[in-house]
Structures are given as C-alpha cells and as structure tokens.
Structure 1
Amino acid sequence: MISPDNLPAKLDRIVWIDCEMTGLDRTKDVLVEISVLVTDGNLRVLGGDEGTEPGLDIVIHASDELLNGMDEVVTEMHAKSGLTDEIRRSTITVAEAEQQVLAYIMKFVDEPRTAPLAGNSIATDRAFIARDMPELDAFLHYRMIDVSTIKELCHRWFPRIYINQPPKGMNHRAMADIKESIKELAYYRAVAFVPSPGPSDAEIKGKLADFS
C-alpha cells in the first residue's frame, strides 16, 4: 500500500529555502541571506548527524550603497536582527552561496527536478533565486509547496484553525523563518488534513461523482 513512509526518496524530499533581501523590487534589490533545510515527506528534517545542526545558512555580502538604499522598514528590520552587520562582514558572493546551497541539497536529493521548493510566500524567494541563482533554480522541481496557500484556505474554510495557528517569532532571519514554516505546515497537516493514509479508494470514488 502506498503511504508517506514508503515513498522512494525522489518522490519524498522537500527543499525548504528562505531568503532575506534588501527589498522586494527585483529591478534593484539583492539577496543578502539564504538558508536551506531538506525534509522528508513527513516533514522530518534530514541531516544534522554527529552533533551538527542540520541545514545551511549563508549571509551574502552587499555594498554600503545597496544597504543605504533600503527603505526605512527593511533598514530597521535588518539592523534589529543583526543581519546588516553580518552582511558587511561577509565576503561571500551570490555565486558562491549558490554553489554551497546546491551542494547541500544534493546530499539528500540525487536527481534534478524531483524535489519541490517549499516555504512561506515562496514565489517571492524563487523569483530572486531564478534571477541570481539559475543553476539552483534549474535543479529544483518547477512545483512549489507554499505554506501561505494553506494558511489562506484555512482562513476561509476553517477560521478556528487559522486563528489558533502557532505564533511566529518574527525575527526576520532566514533559518528561523524556515523552521517556523515547517512547524506551521506540520500544524495544518495535524488539524486540517485527514489522517494518513487518507480515505480508501472506494471512499474516493464515492466522492468523484460530485465533480463529474
């Protein structure tokens, strides 16, 4: 029987990425931090053996000109989180960050275009990845798992689930944001989705008539 516990790795892996930028304008803003975690289909984080923390977090250098061009909200946000100082100290380029992230993902994902990208409002992150990290973008599956989609559906269909969602730290750092997104999806899975392994074939076929 097909279940989440016996899927082959190429159908099981989920790549979680979160980025911090100098803003959301793709014509002028740049990536300044990228973090990645890989989970299995049951949202269990992979890696972290031998006492090391799983995942990878990279702060990317940006010029003072770009940092000084950030709007007031982003300037305050990155200063408060400590990211601005880390950006100035970093010597890592976008190209170097791309290769490090790709190498990390390939520890868990053997074949290109098999693992979907996941996160919150992940289309924004992917737009910057596609622009600045094309090799990474090409390795990921074109499909994405956007936790914010489930959030918005619960807002409309199950308001109590939406209202009681786990609180967020709101510290605006990439790795913390990924961990919160994984936790949030696990919450929705537990309270909004039917338990695994889901309905039987007969139950599914009984519902199909409603959609014919």
Structure 2
Amino acid sequence: RVSLSDFRGIAACGGFSYGDVLGAGEGWAKSILYNTRAYDEFSAFFSRDDSFGLGICNGCQMMSNLYELIPGTSDWPRFVRNRSEQFEARVAMVEILESNSLFLNEMAGSMMPVVVSHGEGLVEARNASSQQLLESQNACLRYVDASGEASEYYPLNPNGSALGLNGFTNDDGRFTIMMPHPERIFRSVQNSWRSPDWGEYGPWMRIF
C-alpha cells in the first residue's frame, strides 16, 4: 500500500516488534527476503544514496539479516542467543567507537549507561572476526567496565560478545544497528545520575 520511495529514513524498533518470541528479528527479515514486492522495495531503498536507517534490538537482528541488501555491510554479524541462555534486562555501560555512523556523529569516546533488554544479542561472525570489524570501523559500540576497557564478562557484557561489541554501521555510515536501547534512556530523569545542566534530555538524545 505504501512505497519506500516516499521515505528517506526508516527505524526498525525493538521491544519484540515482530512477535513476542526469540528469533522474531530473523522472522521479520524473512518476511522481506521471501516476499518479492517487499524485497524489491527494501533493496531499492537501501541502494539509494540519500536513504538511512537505524535498527535497535529486535530491529538490529532484523536488519543484520538483510545485510545482502544493504551496501557496505558484507561483514555484519548475526545475533544469536546470549551466552547466559537467558533474557537479559539491565543497564550496562557502553563506549561509542570511532565510525562513520551518522547517528553517532561526534559522539566517539563517550561512555554512557544504556538500557539492555534482549535474549539474542551474542555476536556471531559471518564474514569477519570481531577484531576485523573493530579495525574496519564498522563496529561502533561496545560494552565497557568501570575502567573504560572493553568487557566480555557477565553482567557488564550481558550477552558475551567478543570484545564487547554490540553495534555496527555500514561503510558509509548511513545504516546503523545496535542491540542496546538508547531510545529508552534519552531523558535526563531516566538516568540514575544526571547533571543539573542537562535539562530535559540526556546524552543519548543526540542520536535523535
């Protein structure tokens, strides 16, 4: 009923947005990959040079499975069941890495608490190791410990991903995916500590 040619940006949201079951993100992707019209619409959208997109949690898993349609994402990993084999809902500390992500522009080096709420956030390499993703600057977010060092340890890293990686962008930065939920902690009052200088919005509001 609606063509993606009328849009410049899309956001694939989290919160079990395609079904209240684990693996829903992969099912969401398959509803695009195995539907001719949807496939053509998304393929054309991703191929444009003026389009952009953000995938969070469930939406991150979905977009990671559309990597063949998105230019500059051949090294994107897939996301599988947490090493704890449990659904993890908590607040974790992340560092924003240097990357081309338009959403994280000028935020590299920031370390901030963020909401985590997923059962399948463990990074599983497809075509590149976590170290290669880090070196190519396709990785844009990672879990860190109290010293600001990348963490692979539970519960600081709730899913066990190598090098703490949990967010990725494509080569030109127009498409970004991440497991954490910055949209759930963009207001100052959603933080356990906040500077009185912040006003209504916290640091994550910069993405939006």
TM-score normalised according to structure 2 size: 0.27
TM-score normalised according to structure 1 size: 0.26
More strand by share: 2
More helix by share: 1
Larger radius of gyration: 1
